Amino acid sequence: MLFKSAYEVIPCGMFSVEHFILLAITVIFIAVALKYTSHLEKDKVKKIIRKSTIILWILEIIKIIYNIINYGFTAVNKYIPLYFCSLILYAGIFSGFCEGTIKKVGDVFLSTGGIIAGMVFLIFPLTSLTTYPAFHFISIHSFILHGTMIYIGILMLTTKYTIIEKKDIAYYSAIIVIISSIAYIINLVFDSNLMFISQNYPGTFIEIIYNLSGNLFPLVMVVLQATLPFYIVYVIYKKINGKNIKDINIKVGSNTKEKEEIYIN
């Protein structure tokens, strides 16, 4: 069952009991992991990023081998890791093993786009549960991958491993545009749909964009992926940080007032 092809199994589908079981397990693991690691120093967070990246690459290689064996080399969509959610594999290397600008690109993607991509997938696991049962390698791998994306992104923000600024959109967009360009070239050659930028994806929100954008679909998809996830996290991040700063100021002001009253008395 764990490694059977899609032709031999019955998918459990989205919003099924199995989906919610996997979702619950993933959320619990994220919560527990954050509880025990959200106080760590930057060097230890970096080690977590490194170890997580290595594990995810091992799982990805197993997935690639599985898909090639079951569907052949022509099924480019199934085994080339050039999708939005695959970017954690590259961003993890950049963040955990590189320095300077390259590291910054990895840091920004992991702490913004990675969180959004992970959350969207956990709610709408279109690329796994619509094809496989919940307890199949592809499904389990997908939930581990996307759960890790959420965990690492939140961990980086809560430990202040990364501090997001508005200008960081440049770093975030860079990895999206570069990967999308590579994916688009491969799509033209193999008639594939890597990064979901070349063809419609019926039955998903991508279909709405496809119908509205017409011939501009590839460009619109790249622009949306290169901007929207970053700004969603950035706005929430700023609001949370702004609230924390206000709370600190109120407490400091209150303590100062109390001290003054004691001194006067």
Compute the mean pLDDT over every residue in the chain, rounded to the nearest whole number: 92
Exposure class string for 243-256: b at 16+ Cβ within 10 A, else e: eeeeeeeeeeeeee
pLDDT at 241: 85
Least confident among 119-133, 169-183, 231-245: 231-245
Residue 1 lies in a domain: no
Segment 35-39 shows an average pLDDT of: 95
- The region that residue 160 occupies, defined by phi over 0 for left and psi between -120 and 50 for alpha, beta otherwise, is left
The span from the CA of 215 to the CA of 233, in Å, is 29
Residues spanned by the domain of 236: 6-264
Query: Above 90 in pLDDT, residue 255?
Result: no
The residue type at 66: Y
Quote the pTM value. 0.89
Quick check: is 106 in a domain? yes
Question: In the chain, how many domains are there?
Answer: 1
Structure-model confidence comparison of residues 3 and 242, the more confident one: 3
pLDDT in tens, 78-135: 999 999 999 999 999 999 999 999 999 999 999 999 999 999 999 999 989 999 999 9
Phi, psi of 32 (to 5 degrees): -65, -45
What would the pLDDT profile of 8-21 be if each residue is shown by its tens digit?
Answer: 999 999 999 999 99
What is the mean pLDDT of the segment spanning 31-54? 97
- pLDDT at 259 > cutoff 70: no
Q: Quick count: other Cβ atoms within 10 Å of Cβ 25? A: 13
Could you read off the pLDDT of 186-233 as tens digits, one per residue?
999 999 999 999 999 998 889 999 999 999 999 999 999 999 999 999
Within a domain: residue 15?
yes
> What secondary structure, in 3-state letters, does 106-165 show?
HHHHHHCHHHHHHHHHHHCCCCCCCCCCCCCHHHHHHHHHHHHHHHHHHHHHHCCCCCCC
pLDDT (0 to 100) of residue 260? 43
- Look at residue 242 in the predicted model and tell me its pLDDT: 75
Above pLDDT 90, what percent of the chain? 86
